[in-house]
Structure 1
Amino acid sequence: MVFAFYAFAICFALICLYPFALVLLSSLTEETSLQRFGYSLFPHKFSISAYKAIFSTSTIPRAYLVTLFVTVVGTTLSLLITSTVAYALSGKRLYYAGSLAFFFYFTMMFSGGLVSQYILITKYLHLQNSIWVYIIPALFGPWNMFLMRNFFNDIPNELFESAKLEGAGELRLLFRIALPLSLPALATIGLFYALGYWSMWTPALLYVENPDLYTLQYIIMQIIRNINIAQTIAIQGAAQSSTAVAPAYTVRLATAMVTVGPIIFLYPFLQRYFVGGLKVGAIKG
């Protein structure tokens, strides 16, 4: 029975890895071979011209830096704000904690819509053509806050009471006791926030006109929608090869690999905390 379970798990893992391996190896295939033989796990002719085309121009590297900045800064600020609000609403620290929690829950069920959001960001916050348009509107997630609050509620209250007897204030209780004991929850919601910031491209479409502030996902969206963009990148940046065919399709595949790489390598380091944090959200409401 155990052998069958492990065999099933291995087969399932291989099935999940197959699309990733197919995209990776196809991105390392010469464009003419890809057009002639199609996608394959065994490239007929190896080539890295697609990756040369990506990194020989400033478009993709610049978008990469913008996305990295948005992800790192946005995730850090989101964790700070979310944990602070969750700590205030946990336990019996606020007299109107229940009413405030219902206010946050209400925003999960109803939204003002895209029009009101656009007016708020452009007319009142003036965030258009600013890198902060990616970060500020997405700083706080109510679901993540409730997950963090549940974790804070599981910390024995005696720890906080003993620290208060030593003269510790609320900020000291948060940063010296609550947060160090909440690494699983921090890793879980941190991964959620990081995935959200890393995959963000809608603000670039709606609010950003400066090409220097485009995110990596927005560039990929443009490449996917218009293959001429990929051909332009290849012609401007790639070294001339023996074939006259520009690596258009392979550029799209290579760009996808460059995009998902950091998130794939980040997940194994957070997996043990991630599973523990999800258990908290599944057990308690």
Structure 2
Amino acid sequence: MKVQNKNRQWTLNIFMMFVASVFILPFVLLIISSLTDEVAVVQYGYSFFPKEFSLDAYSYLWDQRGQILHAYGITILVTVVGTVLGLTMTAMLAYPLSRKDMPLRNVLGFLVFFTIIFNGGLVPTYLVYTNLLDLKNTIWAQIIPYLLMNGFNVLLMRTFFTTTIPDSIIESARIDGAGEIRIFRSLVLPLSLPILATIGLLMATMYWNNWFNQMLFITDPGLYTIQNLLNRIMTDIQFLQNSDLASDASAAADLPSTTVRMAIAVIGILPILITYPFFTKYFRKGIAVGAVKG
């Protein structure tokens, strides 16, 4: 029996290693490709064992390090502010929805669920943020559209509150004289670290990778985030390659257009890859507990 269990465990370990490699190897190939010579990539394609290593792609981006560092600063600001505010608003809405004694609880829960299925549409959203709120070319145009929360995150946190925090603990706090704000701040939030870390990571990733709102509302280069700036760099390279001007054509011939795409992707995802392992424990627990039931 022990031999069978051991063999089964080895089989599961090998299978999970294979699954993990399926997800990890593309990132490894991405990094190696960004360090490969442009000519080698064009001639031999992408490979884990390139013919010739080169730092030309990163050298090209290094020449624009001033813009990239500024864009990183804007991205970090937007991500931190948006995540903190969004997480606060999500928790403050999800907690009342988790209380069975809250009036109109089901109606408000339905309205939150309704936003998952339907939205206002692109044109009305653009008109509201540009004409009514006048957010175009402001830092808030990159924060507020996603700050108005996500129905899935609200329902996920509400489920966590309902299934994880016993009513008896809250009743005990009320007997001791604690108000709702004190209970929420001193009791509920400390017990909800897994779901807060989970939703916080989801929000941070969303803000970090967001470029669509910037495409709609941002035309000032001083407000470009890293995603928007890297996308603009790729557009400039493509423009030079398709240009009919002799000077532009000769300059484009020396650009590492293929490998620079890989380097841009590495720069864009590297901070997320570095921070994600620190939240894995909370992310796994938060998703597992928060999705027990709706």
TM-score, length of structure 2 as denominator length: 0.86
Q: What secondary structure does 1:126 align onto?
A: coil
Q: What is aligned with 1:143?
A: 152
Q: What is aligned with 1:104?
A: 112
Match 2:222 to one of 201, 212, 222: 212
Q: CA offsets per residue over residues 16-67 of structure 1, 9 Å max, x none?
A: 2221111101111222332333222123222223223213322322222221
Q: CA RMSD in A?
A: 1.9
Match 1:43 to one of 22, 37, 50: 50
Please say which of residues 174-183 and 29-38 is displaced more in the overlay: 29-38
Q: Tell me the number of residue pairs that the alignment of Structure 1 and Structure 2 aligns.
A: 273
2:146 aligned partner, one-letter code = A
CA drift of 1:220 comes to 3.2
Do the aligned partners of 1:187 and 1:273 also contact (CA within 8 Å) in 2?
yes
Do the aligned partners of 2:34 and 2:57 also contact (CA within 8 Å) in 1?
yes
Q: What is aligned with 2:86?
A: 78
Q: What secondary structure does 1:283 align onto?
A: coil
Match 1:175 to one of 180, 185, 199: 185
For residues 10 and 110 of structure 1, the distance between their equivalents in structure 2, rounded to whole angstroms, comes to: 40
Match 1:251 to one of 226, 243, 260: 260
Do the aligned partners of 1:29 and 1:48 also contact (CA within 8 Å) in 2?
yes
Q: CA offsets per residue over residues 81-120 of structure 1, 9 Å max, x none?
A: 1001111222135212221111111122211111110111
Q: What is aligned with 1:195?
A: 205
Do the aligned partners of 1:55 and 1:61 also contact (CA within 8 Å) in 2?
no
For residues 171 and 230 of structure 1, the distance between their equivalents in structure 2, rounded to whole angstroms, comes to: 58
CA drift of 1:224 comes to 4.5
CA drift of 1:193 comes to 0.8
TM-score, length of structure 1 as denominator length: 0.89
Aligned-residue sequence identity (percent) comes to 43
Please say which of residues 218-227 and 66-75 is displaced more in the overlay: 218-227
Question: Which consecutive residues of structure 2, in runs of 5 or more, have no partner in the other structure?
Answer: 1-7, 242-252
CA drift of 1:248 comes to 2.1
Query: Structure 2 matches for 1:28-67, cutoff 5 A?
Result: 28-57=35-64, 58-67=66-75
Whether 2:137 is the aligned partner of 1:126: answer no
Query: Structure 2 matches for 1:263-274, cutoff 5 A?
Result: 263-274=272-283
Please say which of residues 120-129 and 262-271 is displaced more in the overlay: 262-271
Task: Rate the CA distance shift 1:271–1:184 in 2: closer, same or farther, 3 A.
Answer: same
Q: Which ranges of 4 or more aligned residues in structure 1 deviate by more than 4 Å? A: 223-226
